[in-house]
Amino acid sequence: MNEWQVVLYPNPTDKELTIESNLLLEEIITIEIYSTIGQ
């Protein structure tokens, strides 16, 4: 069984973030990203 792997870059980032995943998505997903202070 393959595990979900996700890569986020650049880290740290200012405005733009790239998200790469090994999943073949067949549905819409929602990803919420927060700062270390919860914003």
**Pairing label, strands 6-9, 18-21:** antiparallel
What is the tally of structural domains in the chain? Answer: 1
- For tokens 């393959």, name the residue: 2
In order along its 39 residues, the chain shows pLDDT tens digits of: 578 888 999 988 888 999 898 887 777 888 888 888 887
The pLDDT value recorded for residue 10 is 93
pLDDT of residue 1: 58
The reported pLDDT for the residue numbered 9 is 94
- Taking the C-alpha atoms of residue 24 and residue 5, their distance in angstroms, rounded to an integer, is 11
Q: Distance between CA atoms of 21 and 4, rounded to whole angstroms?
A: 7
32: domain range? 1-39
Supply the pLDDT for residue 24: 79
C-alpha to C-alpha distance for 19 and 7, rounded to whole angstroms: 6
